[in-house]
Amino acid sequence: MPLFPRKPKYTIVKISKKRDIPEDLWMRCEECNELIYNKKLDENLGVCHKCNYHFSLGAHERIKLLIDEGTFKEMDAEMESLDPIGFEGPKTYKEKLKKDQELTKLKDAVITGEGKLGGRPVVIGVTDSRFIMGSMGSVVGEKLTRAIERATEKKCPLIIVSGSGGGARMYEGMFSLMQMAKTSAALSRYDREGGLFISILTNPTMAGIMASFASLGDFIIAEPKALIGFTGPRVIEQTIRQKLPHGFQRSEFLLNHGLIDMVIHRKVLKDSLVRLLSYF
């Protein structure tokens, strides 16, 4: 007796292999877990359309966002780090530098230069968290110090956009810690000359960078929900053995407690800076 006395109402067909989907088309939001099409994310300046989480931007992207088109002139572009203490570990310092130089196409974790913002001349420095977590070694400290001195010489506003989860760069030992004092001393001279320093904090801005130039702005502006502080909240909780308040070390919490002056969405940051410069 046949298994199927009647012709089945379905047919068995060969399913062709699905076409490969190109990589890097989608990004998952770290805050709300929303899946975002990369093109839409770029159009929205790296901000999640659902929860307003601000993704990290590279230094060149930051400059493009803030500085008038065609006006930026980079300073000290060829300066790059040496290996002053011959650091060795699972990877040597030289290997880490080479890897991140290839990844970011940067010589080190900061870009500095001159340009115009809303038609007004400014000196700007931007750290890039993709390069050894935006940490400050000798080159970052020297380039920022030279930028501060250029702003002092030209008597124009100074803007530094900070994003560092690495603070002072341990691979350079004491040489990196010296940069905290050097940048702060340069800012003190700039302040005595009447300069206007606007410090912009992004996620994350921590440790030696926050403990030096990033906290010394005449105006301290942060992006929404940015993690800002010296030591991270998990380490603090383990040390003091107490539960920290909700939102501790986030920009909104720090605004309410007086550490920073403004929390500004990325989409309106340039317009807000133009207004600030016009006031002063």
- Dig out the tokens for 95 from the structure: 């290997």
274 closest CA partner among 68, 126, 46, 56: 68
pLDDT of 21 over the 50 cut:
no
Residue range 177-232, pLDDT digits in tens:
999 999 999 999 999 999 999 999 998 888 888 888 988 999 999 999 888 888 77
Domain that residue 140 falls in: 57-279
Residue 1 lies in a domain: no
Q: What is the pLDDT of the chain when averaged over all its residues?
A: 85
263: DSSP letter: E
Q: How far apart are the first and last CA of the chain?
A: 96
pLDDT for res 3: 58
**Neighbour count for residue 35 (Cβ, 10 Å):** 9
How many structural domains compose the chain? 2
Across 47-69, average pLDDT = 84
Residue with structure tokens 């803030």?
66
Q: What's the pLDDT score for residue 246?
A: 76
CATH code for the domain in which residue 168 is found = 3.90.226.10
In a domain, 166, yes or no: yes
The token pair at 69 is 């088109």
Q: Which of 182, 235, 191, 231 is nearest to 210 (CA)?
A: 231
